[in-house]
Structure 1
Amino acid sequence: MPTTCSSAILRNFVSPFDATVVQLLQAAGAQVVGKSNCDEFGMGSLNTYSIYGPVVNPYQAPTSPESWAVRERRSAGGSSGGSAAAVAAGMCDIALATDTGGSIRLPASYCGVVGLKPSYGIVSRWGVVSYADSLDCVGVLARTAQDVKKAFDVLNVYDDKDPTASRPDVRRRASEAVQKSHWNAEDGLTGLRIGVPQEYFPAELLQSTLTPVRRMLENLASRGAAIIPVSLPSTRFALSAYYVISSAEASSNMARYDGIQFGSYVEPPAGTNKAKTSNVYAYTRAAGFGPEVQRRILLGTYALTADAFDNYFLQAQRVRKLVRADFNRVFSVPNVLFSTPSLPSDAGVHVLLHPSTIRTAPRLPLTANQTRCNNEDTLDAYVQDVLTVPASLAGLPAMSIPAGLGEDGWPVGVSIVGQWGCDDMVLEVGSLCAQLPGC
């Protein structure tokens, strides 16, 4: 099928093979009905950077007296907004999506569906078009946590074609660590320790979205769960580190689109030396890449230059290490990828819970030429990821589930985050939370 990444440079590209995740789903009996819109090469938070135009959020409140056609146009979130919108509109039962810094959880929250970003290396990335290799994850969107789990169980297998895949022995150790966690889903919420990180309520968080989050925490506590405040102090540096690392990796990955090996060729104009390789590259990429992709390539290339490497890229990697250490310090389940000492069985938390986004779905631009939502500064669009990127930097499983409606009548999501390899625990907790009143 055509695989364009919503980019002009791949407008005519047809994939020569299926990704492993597609093969697994088809072998299990799933029927692939089409591909969905996204931000170009996955670079965006609002699904407005696409050659096909923005994805319109299909959410419609059951009690709304207006038809969907006359409701205000709001973003479905990005970058995997097309997948979330397809699920929310009932066009499919489940949808595959990729998550680099929140590209599954943001759309899930905005559209009122369930979205899972698995642990890094658990689901095969073979056949996935790369954005940032150390962050990209394939995940699942669906209307219920049960449907997400059904698809995840099919995809949760080792793939020797994927060099980043976690090997079977590592998966086994993670499963054994979960079994020693002293919480059983069959007991319901009793004995479950849920951490609420104080840094996940920043100044940018709209107060109108907090009511559903508070209501969920109250319901969890009333049903036997222990709500424990925790601190993840490196969180405030995570967003900056994420954009340095992801842009640096993107600048490397985008180098293959030169109009010769990959990408649509654009002939240099008359009077230009057409035999000069740099001219071919320059005119092809200028015409083929959209503004956001160009912006991130420039940022990433600068971060990798000799003058900036130590001050930006290496510093961002140090921050990433601190973010991971924060998570390992608060979870009761040890991270089997590192030789970190495990906490006593009665210390630490099983999962974390926090708002998925800082607001409900933003309004879409009024005209096709606008690329910013609600006349916000371009930098504000990057802040949408502030609550999702820490789990991505640490490679942890995270699932956004609907928590109810904000004061403006649009969906609000909360995220369940677990230790690496605790994907099943995250799914079980998310399923229990989704059954609470108001969700």
Structure 2
Amino acid sequence: MSFLREAQICIANQTARKSLNAFIGLAGGPTILRKAEAADTQRDGGPLHGRLIAVKDNICTSDLPTTSASGILKTFTSPYDATVVKKIHHAGGIVAGKTNLDEFGMGSHSKCSYFGPVTQSNAEGAEALSAGGSSGGSAVAVATGQCWAALGTDTGGSVRLPAAYTGIVGFKPSYGLVSRWGVLAYANSLDTVGILVQSTQHAKVVFEAINGYDEQDPTSLLPSTRARISESLSQRRRNSSLRIGVPLEYNIAELSPQVRRAWTSALEFLRNQGHMIVPVSLPSTKRALSAYYVLAPAEASSNLAKYDGVRYGTRAEGPDGAEGVLFSKTRGEGFGDEVKRRILLGAYTLSAEAIDNYFIQAQKVRRLVQQDFDRVFSLANPLLDGGRTGRQDTDQAVDVLVCPTAPTLPPTLESLEKQSPVEAYVSDVFTVPASLAGLPAVSVPFKASQRGEGEGQEGNIGIQVIAQYGDDNLALDVARMIEETRRT
């Protein structure tokens, strides 16, 4: 199929699926078609040559507004492109538009947007389902053929959860491999640019295009460290049979029967392919979610302090300065409820009276989570001097971990209205641990082979593959194995 024809189909889908609210801003049909037509005549482009790539609207673009789905940035256009956007252009990709999200990436269902919630199609006459969050717009755009691939950001699962809910592939690379420069920060130590695509093969193509050191990003992994990781991976003895770890702590009471059965089926498939299934323990997992919702809001409260209508942001009309605070009206009107909630939570956990009992304790839990992962992986963490601490015996170590992406099927939008914010946070229980440790993780769609008696709810299920830091390609390779079940 020509790139022009592919672009025409994507634009037609954008029009037909407009009610899903996947995009905040589109690049424009004539512009896209002109670039796609040019791509057909110049076949020697980069790896993304002629492909339509959507970009989450918290990633800066100079030719389209960057709002982060917030009222306080509704009129903002960046004077520069983010590094990942530059890399898309350099690889021959065409930016299709800016996708909708939870405001500043804070949410699990893409319903906390100034521009309205993102939804996904469901069976005719059935209730609308959650698209997941915060990269729900990017996920829906890919799932409904409105673009070839999309970039999102993953702080605690914001790429993987939408991928699981919409039935596509969502990939969060190792923290520091892909540049964050030009990404509006939510939590600096967690934010990772991720990829949403229809297949793991496409994920590898996009990853290779955007992966690389960026001197403008202080969190970008240095070339020397990248070389050390490559050397470590090249020296590893790779057997045809992998050791697949199954985290026992992930078998929680909240796990729905459909998801549990899909997990079991995926593991059985891998066993039949000749791989060994090994139960492992990650005891700190039970505390990971609580630690995340202390650390992420703490960083957010600091990052969002600059949005005051003076330095950044859209200033509220009329006098601003109630109770002696210059920007109280601007921030009160500009931020949504979920953002306000997390700013307040973060400000409290960083206060003098609470920092020891909350923020410091959460940092300790984060370290324990990292140590749990290092203990079970056969590959030593390349970021640690001398390998690992507390290394397991070789017979007990594993190459990757396989677990569900989300504990339940995608909920209906109506049911979310009855949930408290804390209940919504539970959606991230399986994705947060890998984020705290900075590990590569892939969500791949999986269909359970059968339904249990009395189970009326249907929906997409995601199976997650987690690998040691820097072992991104192995995570994608195992995800591709699971992906093969859709063709058998």
Question: TM-score, normalised on structure 2?
Answer: 0.82
Question: Is contact 1:362-1:374 (8 Å) kept?
Answer: no
Distance 1:232 1:242 in 2: 16
Alignment RMSD (CA, Å): 1.7
Within 2, Cα distance between the matches of 1:6 and 1:279? 25
The aligned length equals 416
C-alpha displacement of 1:434: 0.6
C-alpha distance in 1 between matches for 2:262 and 2:322: 59
Give the partner amino acid of 2:416.
Answer: C
Deviations 1:348-373 (A, max 9, x none): 111000000011111113xxxxxx71
Between 1 and 2, higher relative CO (CA 8 Å, sep ≥ 6) is seen in 1
Q: Which has the larger displacement, 325-334 or 424-433?
A: 424-433
1:302-342, Cα deviation, whole Å (9 max, x unpaired)? 00000001110000000000000000000000101112336
Asked if residue 289 in structure 1 is aligned to residue 335 in structure 2, the reply is yes
1:108 maps to 2:108:
no
CA distance 1:174–1:209, change in 2 (3 Å): same
User: 2:85 matched to which residue of 1?
Assistant: 22
The correspondence for 1:230, drawn from 280, 298, 305, is 280
Contact residue 401 and residue 430 of structure 1 kept, 8 A: yes
Structure 2 equivalent of residue 191 of structure 1: 241
Q: Which moved more, 1:27-36 or 1:338-347?
A: 338-347
Aligned residue for 1:375, secondary structure, equals coil
Mind listing any 5+ residue stretches in structure 1 that lack a counterpart? 61-65, 185-189, 366-371
Letter in 1 for 2:470: G
SS at match of 1:32: strand
Alpha-carbon separation, structure 1, partners of 2:212 and 2:201: 18
Contact kept, 8 Å, 1:46 with 1:76, in 2: the verdict is yes
**Structure 1 residue 275: Cα displacement:** 6.7
2:458 counterpart letter in structure 1:
G
Alpha carbons of structure 1 residues 278 and 205: separation in structure 2 relative to 1, 3 Å: farther
Q: Aligned partners of 1:379, 1:222: CA distance in 2, in Å?
A: 39
Tell me what 1:314 maps to.
Answer: 360
- 2:437: which partner in 1? 394
Counting only pairs closer than 5 Å after superposition, residues 203-352 of structure 1 correspond to structure 2 as 203-267=253-317, 269=319, 278-339=324-385, 340-341=387-388, 347-352=396-401
> How far apart are 1:54 and its partner, in Å?
1.1
**Counterpart in 2 of 1:375?**
418
Contact 1:181 1:350 in 2 (8 A): no
**More displaced stretch, 226-235 vs 211-220:** 211-220
Aligned to 1:179: 234
8 Å CA contact 2:278–2:396 kept in 1: the answer is no
Q: Shift of residue 51 of structure 1?
A: 1.1
1:80 equivalent to 2:135? Answer yes
Residues 356 and 400, structure 1, Cα contact 8 Å, conserved in 2: yes
Q: Residue 47 of structure 2 aligns with which residue?
A: none
2:18: which partner in 1? none
Paired with 1:275 and 1:298, the residues of 2 have a C-alpha distance of: 19
TM score, norm. by length of structure 1? 0.91
| Paired amino acid for 1:400 | S
Q: Deviations over 1:156-195 (max 9, x none)?
A: 11111110000111112222222333226xxxxx411110
- Given the alignment of the two structures, is residue 427 of structure 1 paired with residue 476 of structure 2, yes or no? yes
Does residue 385 (structure 1) correspond to residue 433 (structure 2)? The answer is no
Distance 2:345 2:317 in 1: 26
Task: Give the letter aligned to residue 153 of structure 2.
Answer: T
Alpha-carbon separation, structure 1, partners of 2:235 and 2:371: 21
Cα contact 1:181–1:332 (8 A) shared by 2? no
Q: Which moved more, 1:375-384 or 1:288-297?
A: 375-384
2:406 aligned to which of 357, 362, 365: 357
Q: Which residue of 2 aligns with 1:168?
A: 223
Could you say which residue in structure 2 is the equivalent of 1:125?
Answer: 180
Letter in 2 for 1:306: A
Distance 1:234-1:343 versus aligned 2 partners, 3 A rule: closer
- 2:381 corresponds to which letter in structure 1? N
Q: Which residue of 2 aligns with 1:368?
A: none
Aligned to 1:151: 206
Three-state SS of the structure 2 residue aligned to 1:219 is: helix
Give 3-state SS (helix, strand or coil) of 1:293's partner: helix
Contact 1:113–1:141 (CA<8 Å) still a contact in 2?
yes
Partner secondary structure for residue 426 of structure 1:
helix
